[in-house]
Amino acid sequence: MSLLITGGTVVGPTGPYAADVLVDGETIAAIFAPGTGPADGVDVLDASGKYVIPGGVDVHTHMELPFGGTFASDTFDTGTKAAAFGGTTTIVDFAVQRAGEVVGDGLAAWHAKAEGNCHVDYGFHMIIGGVDDESLKAMDSLVATEGITSFKLFMAYPGVFYSDDGQILRAMQKARDNGAMIMMHAENGIAIDVLIGQALARGETDPIHHGLTRPAALEAEATSRAIALAGVAADCPLYIVHLSASEALAAVATARDAGRNVFAETCPQYLYLTLEDQLGAPGFEGAKWVCSTPLRSKHEPHRADLWRGLRTNDLAVVSTDHCPFCFKDQKELGLGDFSKIPNGIGGVEHRVDLVYQGVVDGKLSLARWVETIATTPARMFGLYPRKGVIAPGSDADIVVYDPAGRTTISAATHHMNMDHSAYEGFEITGKVDTVLSRGTVLVSGDGAYHGRAGHGRYLRRGLSDYLL
């Protein structure tokens, strides 16, 4: 039986409009002027007073990521179920190759973790932790045959995922040739390690020192260097991940104004949370908010600048960088030494709500909400128009969103496998009501869950839409 979603306001990148949406099987069959759709032979979902938006696309998650002697606490099962509850119907996770490992083995390991376990559709980027002749060759075959068209490199974490400038340049030249996107963790990890050593030597061991040893200047320097290296690689497509600092945003904006293939994302934690209020919480509490890039000072204009960047498209995407660790036994690995706290914040369940709160607060338009959480990430990473838009022929990944609802974020009610919430007590004016993935109702308006592990399918992605 087909499903007609009636009475709602469809929101797309061009703005809101009243329309009824017909779902047939796994795809959107048609969009009708209100009240003009078929009357017989369809189930009806009444979306009166609600927004009808494309399912969220979160292009930065780390399910089960090995980090700092432990693993991110969400599996593909728990993490994608939580995503579904929050209105995200596609994730793109990071498969990992470390120095000395074969890229294909890392990819196979990620497929083994995800296959049969996902509640929503999923794709992979590949972390290249060891750039050498073999991994460079593998980049070509991943683009050509595996649907993996984006590669993350790290200017941070020396000895773990770090690449030096020569390795970065070689990978960028490869990407320029095969059309892939280079995703960059832009922090000067060599300088940061010096600052960490000096802080620890002074006995500065609390979580806040994680932020203080990763100053904005070292994010900005790495961002500028990545942009320069991509320029040397004939304007290789470059996407800066988890951008948090005004100074880094300024470097991206300058490159974009010059017409460069430079893009960037930010994450909800940088839009809402701060060095002083969260990372600087008393005692060891701040460990909950240890992530890299770090939360920035509330006495500097970072948060306001990031919201502005989202408005002006200098920041194209909001992803979560979902990388959850429990406080007990995982974050606690860094008791007495902040540098041993596993880096990451969980948030895959709350991105759609947290960015919608920006609409309520007058910081973003409805159209930019949908663009930054769904349409642009789909286009940026080769999933459009299958994902990211309400249009005939697209997958029926649809969220009915209730602007009159309320969401209270809490570890007591969230579905992520975390013993705390980075956003504990946050009140959102708005609520995910119904969630469909390829025409299947995963979450119904009464909050009941109907999804299952194994519903989610692997997505082979194309090249980015934003390149000539």
Our CB check for Zn ion shows the closer of 119 and 185 to be 185
Q: Is 72 left (phi over 0), alpha (psi -120 to 50) or beta?
A: beta
Our CB check for Zn ion shows the closer of 47 and 345 to be 345
- Which does residue 343 bind out of Zn ion, ligand URP, none, counting CB within 5 to 8 angstroms by kind? ligand URP
From the list 13-21, 122-130, 179-187, 371-379, the region that binds Zn ion by CB under 5 A is 179-187
- Binding ligand URP (rule: CB under 6 A), the pick from 81, 125, 209, 242 is 242
Least distance (Å) between residue 192 CB and Zn ion: 13
Rounded CA-CA distance 372/65 in Å is 25
Which residue, among 356, 265, 368, has the nearest Cα to 14 in the 3D structure?
368
Least distance (Å) between residue 2 CB and ligand URP: 41
Contact 408, 427 (CB under 8 A): yes
Q: In 10 A of CB 227, how many CB atoms?
A: 24
Our CB check for ligand URP shows the closer of 221 and 321 to be 321
Q: Using CB under 5 A, which residues numbered 295 to 324 contact Zn ion?
A: 321
Least distance (Å) between residue 323 CB and ligand URP: 4
Rounded CA-CA distance 202/194 in Å is 13
Residue 343 sits in the site that holds ligand URP (CB under 6 A)? yes
Rounded CA-CA distance 446/243 in Å is 36
- Tokens 């007590």 correspond to 425
Rounded CA-CA distance 124/463 in Å is 13
Residue 125 sits in the site that holds ligand URP (CB under 6 A)? no
- Which does residue 214 bind out of Zn ion, ligand URP, none, counting CB within 5 to 8 angstroms by kind? none
Rounded CA-CA distance 162/168 in Å is 10
Residue 187 sits in the site that holds Zn ion (CB under 5 A)? no
Rounded CA-CA distance 276/143 in Å is 42
Output the CA torsion 129→134→136→138 (10° steps). -100
Tokens of 463: 């090249």
- Binding ligand URP (rule: CB under 6 A), the pick from 56, 280, 344, 377 is 344
Least distance (Å) between residue 119 CB and ligand URP: 22
Our CB check for Zn ion shows the closer of 350 and 431 to be 350
Q: Using CB under 6 A, which residues numbered 302 to 331 contact ligand URP?
A: 321, 323
Three-state DSSP class for residue 166: helix
Residue 347 sits in the site that holds ligand URP (CB under 6 A)? no
Q: Using CB under 5 A, which residues numbered 204 to 263 contact Zn ion?
A: none
> Which contiguous run of DSSP H or E holds residue 379?
helix 376-380
The residues of the shown chain that bind ligand URP, judged by CB under 6 A, are 62, 185, 242, 291-292, 321, 323, 343-344
